[in-house]
Structure 1
Amino acid sequence: MNSVFWLAVALLIATALMIIVVPLWRRSDLAESDVEQRNIKIARERLQELKQQLRDGALSQQQFDEQYQELELSLSDDLDSILAQSRKAGQGKWMIVAILLFVPLVSLSLYFTLGDTQAMVKVEQQQLALQKQQEAQQTIFKMVNGLAERLQQQPNDSEGWLMLGRSLKYMRQYDKAAQAFAQAYRLLGEEPSVMLQYADALAMAQGGKLSGKPAELIFKALSLAPDDATGLWLGGMAKAEMGEYQQALRYWQKLEPKLAGNPESLREVQGLIAALKERIAETGGLETASGQTGIEVEVKLDDSLYDKVQAGDTVFIYAQALNGPKMPLAIVRKRVADLPLSVELNDALAMTPAMKLSAFDNVKVIARISKSGNAMPQPGDLIGYVDTAEPGQDRAVVITINQQVK
């Protein structure tokens, strides 16, 4: 490649020199030849005239000699002029020689001073890198396709599904990646790292939105592994998307010291924290309705009780004061088909303005399945609860419905 480059440079310089030098050379040679030939011709014609006039008697010998001397002097002056022109032509040719030397030297000097002498090497390296990248992608595609085919024959290979999900995510095939992670989740159960990978792929598949199933998986993973860095990152993103800036801030502030060894990620989180604080200051500390001080609740049904419920049965999730009236401080209504699920209880869900969740330091949180749909507990209802929970706490409250109301 380098030899071709320098050959091209030499051809370009030679072409430029031919365009400049050839016209100059021809012009000087033609000018010198024309002047010389014209003056000699005139001198010869004048000498013939003088000789003819001498023969005809129009001139005496003395007159002929005088005019002949004048002609010699005139021709001598013209010859001096010709010599001067020749010297100028010689100077012009010296300039041509100078140009022949100057142009290549200056061009090469400018190139080595201002140009990139490694440009061709870099182009070669980029081409080789691109070729290697394409070869690597083709290899990855073959491996992924082979893995997908193998998993059709071995569908219970959880590690294989995880590897397939990561590979498809790297290839930006997020829908397929989510399906692979879903298989791993089915096989491995509530493993936080798997749930978070599944949530991330689902979110990417729906344009980066974390609402819905991704958020459920994220908060469920955080309830099992409250210090997981990926969970805190995604949890903050999900809460910020919901408008719950205070909770998002708590997640990211908890994440910040865990990123001390990763300066780039640390700067990003610090930037998000600063933006959140500015947002909270702009709103005077107020958030969206779902962003008020509350309790994150994860609800699931014990596997042994699934045969006792129907998909359409009502699920009530609510908080009660530990002492005093048993009226719910905040309540959410769902269906068995939604289980397992994640909800937030907050002041926006209060039944009366006088009884708000934020007014209590500790509360009891209950999840109950009602076949009748009645808000009051009935015999035969299925129930689960946590005796005490603190509104505004970082980690979610996990409730398993595993008892029957007598």
Structure 2
Amino acid sequence: MNLLWLALGLLLLPALWLLLLPLRQARGVHAAQQAFEAEGRNTEQNVTVYRQRLASLEAARERGEIDAARFDDSRLELDRSLLEDAEGQRRSPLKSPSAGRLLVPLIMLTLVVVSLVWYQREGAQGDLAIYNVYQQVRSSPDGSLAMLVGGLENQAALQPDNPKVWLSLFPLYRDSGQFDKATHALQRLIELQGRRPGLLAQLAQIKFFAANRTLTDEVQALVDETLAKQPHQPTVLGMLGIEAFDHGRYEEAIGYWREAIAGFGDAGSAAALREGIAVAQQRLGIAPEATDQSGAGGPALTVAVELAKELRNRAAPDDTVFVIARDVPGKLPPLAIERATVADLPLEVTLDDGDAMAPMARLSQVDEVRLTVRVSPSGQATPQPGDLVGEAGPVTLGDAAAPIAVTIDRVVD
């Protein structure tokens, strides 16, 4: 914290120096302005012009070109013009170069005070205090989870409106089984950050486990609100799978868990759900699916691809051919994809888990797939008008001893 205030002080020094700079230059600027005004000759030039014009008027009167009344009017106008010019050239006397010197320290003090107050209100001092709690626990020989929780609880009392302190406390409460405190931390987060689907899902899950894995009316209301905002929210789907498994609805549990796997970004959560799917499949008396995540392995499917004769003149030899396997409901990303060219047709390709686009969407997660083969002149993965396509399925994995034939026979509109 001392380093923070030192850094703020160092940042203020240039600002204070800029405030002092005009004061240090005031005497030189005053002397230069005074010299300029002393050398000014505008008034002298105006008087010279006045005398010349007056002499011209007098000469015109003597020659009889203007009468006395005309002469008086013209001279009056000339006098008025000289007075106006002289009035415009009048300058207020210069103030002393030391005038206002006392105001500069007052402005400097105001700048310092306003900067500190602004930082107190808008800065990250609270986040820095949370960071210091973690640092103190790590550096202390007696550091422990209880010490960390105690420090964060002190910060929660000091800064109850900082969402980061509650975000730090929530997983500590949850993992230590303090469901009441974890629920309170989540509720404070929701009050501060709004009813976000991720927070609502966590709150539903905490209340679900606190109620001995029971889908109470309160939990169901949170589930409904979450899925209305984010239909494929993985935390809620995983929880619903647990509830279905506990009540013997194994097929329903498998469906929830497969859909949840597509939404989880970490391999650990996906692997745990796959293990759950394998157990549910055993309870159903069917062979559990492979859970190996190393790449290739698990179920495989051979696809025989050919291009219909009537479309051969619409495809160039170097056009890209995509062979894609998807889950039948279409809720997951592509489970497997292979790439070739029209010049390779007809061809046979084998799809397995090694052809997955993402670790959370593989052939081993499903029992049936739909096959799509697409010829893309642009080489883009997304379908474009004019692409050629062929489809087959649903195909049950493990039942297809012979290659599955797919003919590219229509044009994408």
Give the TM-score taking structure 2 as reference length. Answer: 0.30
The structure with more helix, counted as a fraction of residues = 1
Give the TM-score taking structure 1 as reference length. Answer: 0.31
* Structure with bigger gyration radius: 1
